[in-house]
Amino acid sequence: MSQTRLEQLYKFLEEDPNDPFTLYAIATELRGSEPQKAMDFYEKLLNEHERYVGTYYHAASLYAELGQNDIAEQTYKKGMLVSRQEGNMHAFAELQQAYNKFMGLDYEDD
């Protein structure tokens, strides 16, 4: 993680504390080094910017990494619903593929 980049993102957040892209970028930057802090930002997005489709994939994945499988499953499902409502079929397909893998439904030929 680039500390300079994170510092710049926090400055953007000060300027506009409700910008979903900045919240998402901060969460993404923090994910590797401070996963719980990243989750706080993802949860803010999920609660306050429900239509910001990009959040669902990463939040669900992080919930799974943190052992919160029930919440991960719910997040994938909600993300698929929202992405369909928004007409974002690319995001829907990515979420569905990730959900299927998470649920052990990704059937691959060996």
What are the pLDDT digits (tens) for 21-65? 999 999 999 999 999 999 999 999 999 999 999 999 999 999 999
Residue 24 within any structural domain of the chain: yes
Please name the residue that has the structure tokens 């900045």. Answer: 22
43, burial (CB in 10 Å: exposed 0-12, middle 13-18, buried 19+) = middle
CA 2, chain centre distance (Å): 20
Give the pTM. 0.89
The pLDDT of residue 10 is 97
Residue 107 within any structural domain of the chain: no
Look up residue 17 and give its DSSP letter. T
Residue 19 within any structural domain of the chain: yes
The pLDDT of residue 110 is 52
The whole domain housing 12 covers 3-102
Residue 56 within any structural domain of the chain: yes
User: What CATH number does residue 73 fall under?
Assistant: 1.25.40.10
Residue 44 within any structural domain of the chain: yes
Distance CA 24, CA 56 (A): 11
Q: Give the confidence band of 2 by pLDDT, cuts at 50, 70, 90.
A: low
Residue 110 within any structural domain of the chain: no
6 within 8 A of 30, measured Cβ to Cβ: yes
How many folded domains does the chain comprise? 1
Residue 47 within any structural domain of the chain: yes
Residue 7 within any structural domain of the chain: yes
Tokens describing residue 18: 């409700």
